[in-house]
Structure 1
Amino acid sequence: MSGLSTGILRGAALETRTRWHLWAVLVLIFVSVWNALGNLTPGVGFWPNAVHAVVLSGVLSSCGMAGLAALTGGREQQRGLSYLAGMSSVPAWWLPGAQLLAMVAWASLAYGFVAVAVVVRVLFEAPAGDIGISGWLAGWCAVVAWTVLGYSVGRLWPSRFTAPLAAVVPFAVYVVHYDLVGHTGYLLFPFLDEIVTPYALPQDGLYAGQAVWLAGVAVAGAGVCLARLLSRRATIGVAAVSLGLAITGVAVLSPLHGRFHQPALSAAESARLSTVCTTSHDLAICVHPAFESALPEVRNTFTDTAARLAHTPARVTRLVQQERNSTPAPGTAPLYLDDLRPGRVEEAREELISSLTDFKACNLTQDNPRTAALTELVQQWLAHGRADASAVAGLPEPTTELRTAQQTINGWSSGQGGTWLGDHWDAFRTCTLSGEDFR
């Protein structure tokens, strides 16, 4: 038995040395790594997001490996060499077993390269969060399962059309299964184009259930491929194992009700995740550990704005990163940072300043460009300490009224501007400022 095991391993090793396999897998690795790195949240080191990026890139690996495996599975039949297997003293399942093992090795190598590339990239961002095991395993099981299924189809249907069709099927399933959102079927494959952030994590048990289910699919695919070549007892054993794994995986996924994410966090729950803090003058700033590298930029960007709001009803003493659409605590301003691409912190400041105005009231005055422009000048001052009438959107040329307001605003000290804004807060909040307010 040991001699047979050694022989099948040698056969698999010979199969992996095929040059066209090597070039195909190298191309697949390049494309998958490019896709995985593109799925990472810019500038943020967060392990759950990294895991999801690797898993999601598996759809490309699955397509490529399914097509490659189908081509390998039907190679002997297409070349008319099947009769050679009967001239050998080794068991009939030896050749397909060696080929299948080689394809699984190639799939594992491709997936492993993607995982290593992402890990190395994320390590430069001082990552936070739980790296986990089940997510990596679920992605690997998915790529292996599609590889095994591709080989089985190629062996059972040796046609020149088999490989292209096998390569398309994983992507077709990836697209079509979005119609199953809310049902267990949506979660059967881990290639889900969802967003993973510190405030939107996959449900507990999701990846584990997917890994077990997909392991059952892989075993079933191998069993179908080798069914005619195995003994009845071995076939029944393979069927029992695959069925047991598949049922167990589905049983784990069923209570999740077809939802990828954990229940939404409340404002207090999301704020408690922001445990990395710093203080700048009278402003305390707290962010999630995954965004710790942004603290200096956040401090430099928001400190002056908070000082300009000190004498208004919107006075800010704490700036806390939290989930969107959650109501902050009194005296606390929400910091909405989804990523750390260049300019994102400034966008968060603009978002905070825009939230100071009453959306419904300002909508009633949106047809009056004069009042909207005056409000925008004050918003410019809150952000940058200066106003520029020529930068107001929708006005080809600043009016005399706007130039006067600009001159007044640019003459303020921080204390004068804060006092003025406190006195005119209601008009600013409702977008009803007039030129008289700046004289």
Structure 2
Amino acid sequence: MLRLDARRIAPLVAVPSLALVGVVAAWRAMTPGVAGWDNALVALTASVRWTGPLAAMLAAWLAVREHRLGYLRDLSARSPATGPLLDMLLLTHTVLLSYGVTAVAVIGETALTQRPGPAHPLGLLAGALALVLHAVVGYLAGRLLPYLPTVAATGVVSGLWAGLRGPGSWAALLPPAAIGRLEPFTTLHAAVPAAQLLWTAGLVAALVTGYVWTLTRRRALVVALVCALAATALGTHRLVSRQEAVVPARVGHVCRQWPLTICVHPALAGALPALETALTPLAARLGATPGAFTRVVQRPDGEPTGIHGGVAFVHIPSLNPGFERQVVRQIQTALTDRRSCADPRNARGLAYRALVDVWLRGEEAPPAAPSSSPKPATGNLERASVAASVSAPAVERLTLAAQRFAGWDEARRRAWLAENYSAYRSCTLTLRHFR
């Protein structure tokens, strides 16, 4: 029997594999550049959606393997439930150890950043119990159907349970929850992790107690089974009544005051240097126009963006590479009279506007000094031609405008934009505006 029990050390070899899969899955689910406990909790939940099926397969494999030697346990005086309980205890330690490694990696990365936000310890425990639930279900499946195909079937069913529940329904809140990435200015409702913990703990207790009762037939276990099922039902009721896990969060901004005031969500404080570099030239070029702004403020998704009273309101969902260019384009879009620019009669004006847009975005550096025969800005011209879809004579006029605009220095371009801002905004620019 000692040799039989010693063989149970084998599942511990699976700890590094489960931990590696969990860390990779969690890292992929984290919103780039967003540092916060909400983001970390969603990432840990996503890791369970990947490691859960693997844990279930591991548990089913252990149950099938140990079942072949089950007759040796019958020779001892121990209760028939002792062996399965020890197996499930070992599996619980195995999956919790792998989950702990993933949690340390994710939480460590979050804690090293500034202002991570409110923590949700119940959500952390709910994710751990969800992984234990997969292990228990896999083990019991292997005990009831001790065949090798059961191992694969357990992984497939667990994978379908995790993958087919999309966000938007109460079933998506059942562990492991399909919450998805949280946008800035939102947070998890505190009642959801508590309900998930209650649901998972009740279901795990019900499965273990029910299986032990089938082996021992002790009546006292019926009371524990009823209590566990009641806890599961209560957790289900709370999740059904909640429906939504994400609620708006009232948080302040962190700001960078000079040379341009830029305010973002605290979890996106790392974006401030890049935004300052990208937006300061744009603000300087628009300084003498009605579209001038001296302050940039991030707004929650769903609220309108635009420029009002010298303040540019923008959306920053994440810090993916190139996010600062997306913010610049948002501000450029706010400078547009959409109704006028959508008029087919202003297609040529839209092409001339594209020449100016490239300069505003800083994608084409102006020459150091004017030239008598300036070379046309190729990038400007190509973008403008695509936007125009006009005749050859119109393209020639566009080329001439590009040559003239490329020959002006920065000061002349800014003065020109201040003078012709109305035509730029309404997409009614023509060649005569570039004289």
Residue 280 of structure 1 corresponds to: 258
CA contact (8 A) 1:12 1:98 kept: no
Asked if the contact 1:146–1:218 (Cα under 8 Å) also holds between the matched residues in 2, the reply is no
Query: Alignment partner for residue 143 of structure 2, among 142, 155, 174?
Result: 155
Name the amino acid aligned to 1:375: R
Whether 1:337 aligns to 2:316 is yes
SS in 2 for 1:161: helix
1:170-181 alignment runs, 5 A limit: 170-178=158-166, 181=168
2:246 alignment counterpart: 261
The one-letter amino acid paired with 1:311 is A
Give TM-score scaled by structure 2 length: 0.86
Q: Which one of the candidate residues 297, 303, 318 is aligned to 1:320?
A: 297
- Whole-Å Cα distance in 2 between the matches of residues 344 and 13 of structure 1? 55
Letter of the 2:190 counterpart: D
For 1:206, the equivalent position in structure 2 comes to 192
Residue from 73, 80, 94 that aligns with 2:63: 73
Change (3 A) 1:255 1:33: same
**CA–CA distance in 1 between the matches of 2:130 and 2:154?**
14
Residue 304 in structure 1 maps to residue 278 in structure 2: no
CA 1:133–1:61 in structure 2 vs 1: closer, same or farther (change >3 Å)? same
The within-5 A match list for 1:34-49 is: 34-49=24-39
Out of 62, 68, 74, which is 1:86 matched to? 74
CA RMSD, 1 decimal: 2.8
Residue 371 of structure 1 corresponds to: 349
User: What is residue 371 of structure 2 aligned with on the other side?
Assistant: none
Matched residue of 2:186: which SS?
coil
Comparing 103-112 with 359-368, greater Cα deviation is found at 359-368
Deviations 1:368-398 (A, max 9, x none): 3x43321111112222274673213273899
Q: Distance in 2 between matches of 1:14 and 1:121?
A: 37
After superposition, the Cα gap between the structure-2 partners of 1:335 and 1:62, relative to the gap in structure 1 and judged at 3 Å, is same
Are the structure 2 counterparts of residues 427 and 340 from structure 1 closer, same or farther at C-alpha, using a change threshold of 3 Å? same
Structure 2 counterpart of 1:61: 51
2:149 is equivalent to residue 139 of structure 1 = no
Question: Structure 1 residues 13, 419: CA separation in 2 closer, same or farther (over 3 Å shift)?
Answer: farther
The answer to whether the Cα contact below 8 Å between 1:187 and 1:210 also exists between their aligned partners in 2 is yes
Q: Is the 8 A contact 1:15 1:99 kept in 2?
A: no
User: Taking structure 1 as the reference length, what is the TM-score of the superposition?
Assistant: 0.86
Q: Can you give the 5+ residue segments of structure 1 that lack an aligned partner in the other structure?
A: 1-6
User: Match for residue 208 of structure 2?
Assistant: 222
| Candidates 51, 71, 77, aligned match of 2:41 | 51
Stretch of structure 1 that moved more, 314-323 or 190-199: 190-199
Task: Give the drift of 1:412.
Answer: 4.9
8 Å Cα contact 2:355/2:384 also seen in 1? no
Task: Give CA-to-partner distance per residue, 1:204-248, whole Å, 9 cap, x none.
Answer: 311111111011111112123222223433321331231132123
* Secondary structure in 2 matching 1:177: coil
CA contact (8 A) 1:274 1:321 kept: no
The 3-state SS of whatever aligns with 2:31 is coil
In structure 2, relative to structure 1, the CA distance for the partners of 1:348 and 1:11 (3 Å cut) is farther
2:255 and 2:262 in contact (8 A); partners too: yes
Amino acid at match of 2:244: R
- In structure 2, what is the Cα distance between the partners aligned to 1:61 and 1:95? 25
Aligned to 2:86: 98
Unmatched runs of 5 consecutive residues or more in structure 2: 367-375, 387-391
Identity rate, percent: 30
Question: Which range moves more in the overlay, 194-203 or 371-380?
Answer: 194-203
Asked if the contact 2:92/2:135 (under 8 Å) is kept, the reply is yes
Q: Which moved more, 1:61-70 or 1:128-137?
A: 128-137
Instruction: Tell me how far 1:103 sits from its aligned partner.
Output: 0.8
Decide whether the 8 Å contact of 2:213 with 2:222 is kept in 1: no
Distance across 2 between alignment mates of 1:135 and 1:11? 39
Cα deviation 1:48-68 (Å, max 9, x = unaligned):
101110111101111011111
Q: CA deviation at 1:30?
A: 1.3
Instruction: State the distance in 1 between where 2:128 and 2:103 align.
Output: 10
Residue 312 of structure 2 aligns to a residue in which SS? strand
Deviations 1:403-428 (A, max 9, x none): 44334434556554344323323322
CA distance in 1, matches of 2:76, 2:400: 96
